[in-house]
Amino acid sequence: MSSNTAAKHPVKYAVVLYPGFQALDTFGPLDILNGLANHSPISLDIIGPSLDPVSTNPLPRPGVQRNQAVSQSVVPTHTYDNPPKDIDVLLVPGGVGNRDPRVLEPVSKLIQDLYPGLQYLFTVCTGSRILAHTGIIDGRKATTNKISFSEVASHYPKVNWIEKARWVVDGNIWTTSGISAGIDGMLALLEHVYDKEIADRQAYILEYIRNEDPSNDPFCGHTE
């Protein structure tokens, strides 16, 4: 690649969904992409375990009672077995569902398979648990949400977990803290890929006040 060639902007985005994905982890970043799509030729694929709609309800577990009466189901375009080709940016939301081996194993395998071809890998909240499970971030910096921080970090001690972080960037891997941190992280990724003006524009459309400092993590050490 000649030194005069501008870095290619990512065009092909994809998000991995699984039963028990966290809605706002997902739709914060995706609504930013919805806005970006109005003036950029980007695309988005949605990867599920099958082509059936994927629910925010986790897979039922014996002995675990939970209220199943509030959920949302999203239609995938691709499956783990047949993912899109040539993805530039892969988004991985968190959610209670990823504690389940029936999610953790196939999604971490998918990430392992896709990572080498990506421009960026972007996880929100406990999406970084799944990433840690792949081994890809052993020895690398990452964060996760604050509520689950100790639990996730204890399971994957080879990762250099940064607790006080709204998001962390290590090479082409972006991991954010919990839920709404995905919005700050995605806006920061847009700023990194394009410029501040484009990121600020999307924040304005969302009527969202950005946290532009990745080390500004008011929820670290916060007790309710």
- Per CB under 8 A, the list member of 9, 51, 71, 151 interacting with a copy of itself is 71
Scanning 42-50, 105-113, 151-159, 187-195 for contacts with a copy of itself by CB under 8 A, the matching segment is 42-50
198 near a copy of itself, rule: CB under 8 A: no
86 near a copy of itself, rule: CB under 8 A: no
Angle between helices 181-193 and 23-36 (to 10 degrees): 30
Long-range own/partner contacts, residues 162-168 (CB < 8 A, 24 or more apart): 163/217, 163/220, 164/215, 164/217, 164/220, 164/221, 165/214, 165/215, 165/217, 165/220, 166/211, 166/213, 166/214, 166/215, 166/216, 166/217, 167/143, 167/214, 168/141, 168/142, 168/143, 168/214
Nearest residue (CB) to a copy of itself, 1 versus 70: 70
Nearest residue (CB) to a copy of itself, 59 versus 74: 74
42 near a copy of itself, rule: CB under 8 A: yes
At which residue do the structure tokens 């090479």 appear? Answer: 171
67 near a copy of itself, rule: CB under 8 A: yes
Distance CA 159, CA 196 (A): 30
- Per CB under 8 A, the list member of 2, 38, 82, 154 interacting with a copy of itself is 38
72 near a copy of itself, rule: CB under 8 A: yes
- Per CB under 8 A, the list member of 16, 18, 19, 24 interacting with a copy of itself is 24
What is the C-alpha end-to-end distance of the chain, expressed in Å?
51
Burial of 132 (0-12, 13-18, 19+ CB in 10 A): buried
Q: Site residues for a copy of itself, window 96-155 (CB under 8 A)?
A: 145-147
Q: How far is the CB of 85 from a copy of itself (least distance, A)?
A: 15
* Among candidate residues 136, 123, 126, 112, the one with its CA nearest the CA of residue 20: 126
Scanning 80-88, 108-116, 188-196, 201-209 for contacts with a copy of itself by CB under 8 A, the matching segment is 201-209
- Per CB under 8 A, the list member of 34, 112, 119, 160 interacting with a copy of itself is 34
Distance CA 2, CA 42 (A): 24
- List residues near a copy of itself by CB under 8 A: 13, 22-24, 26-28, 30-31, 33-34, 36-38, 40-44, 46, 53, 56, 66-67, 69-75, 145-147, 177-181, 183, 200-201, 204-209, 218-219, 222, 224
